[in-house]
Structure 1
């Protein structure tokens, strides 16, 4: 219980010191010694196209792309938040995490090949 209170305190303090070029489109969930992560990845600063990626870093499982959208601005957010809610209802403790998209020069990182994602396939 103390760990949960400490987590919420840290999150509350972080909200006041987060730079404007960060975004909260990822969650980290834990249960016992296991960790699950849910990330919304975008190729651009636009809401779409996007991918919802599910990670199990403590289990040695390959990352899974669960959903993708080309045009719908809210699709990935709804799917990611739904997955987080499902994990929480199964007893996982989840917290929103912040990913900083800043390079070492302090400028927004707009040309980072590691964060670039391919456009989702077009369904016919």
Structure 2
């Protein structure tokens, strides 16, 4: 519901905006679903919604003329999953461990 309000606010502003891809991960027991909004150019349009489950990925919606359409459809799909008993959340970004500087090796001199 919160996402639908954000989408509505963006639509009401009427301005074009840069867009970042979003990802929701939904789980139910051992099953999972990924619901992604993809902005291939980094702009609000074009966009597409990708839906991934164990047997593959589909693209149920695409838009080239309606700002906010993909985000709205993705939010609706997430809410449907929650209604079916799924737990959905935005995944935590993967952080790579910090790499320590390599240890300084002693200089080798020829004898």
TM-score range, shorter chain: 0.5 to 0.7
| RMSD, aligned CA | 2.1
- CA drift at 1:24: 6.0
| Aligned partner of residue 64 in structure 1, secondary structure | strand
1:91 aligns with 2:95: no
TM-score (normalizing by structure 1): 0.56
Structure (1/2) with the larger strand percentage: 1
Matching residue of 2:66: 72
**Displacement of 1:33 after TM fit?**
0.5
Q: Which runs of 4+ in 1 moved over 2 A?
A: 97-100
Q: Secondary structure at the match of 2:43?
A: coil
* 1:40 equivalenced with 2:34 (yes/no): no
Task: For residue 84 of structure 1, give the secondary structure of its aligned residue in structure 2.
Answer: helix
Say if 1:42 and 1:50, in contact at 8 Å, map to a contact too.
yes
1:51-70 superposed matches below 5 A:
51-56=48-53, 59=54, 61-70=55-64
Task: Work out the number of aligned pairs and report it.
Answer: 76
Partner of 1:112: none
TM-score (norm 2): 0.62
Structure 1, unmatched stretches of 5+, are: 1-22, 101-124
Give the number of the structure whose alpha-carbon radius of gyration is greater.
Answer: 2
| Counterpart Cα distance in 1 of 2:35 and 2:93 | 12
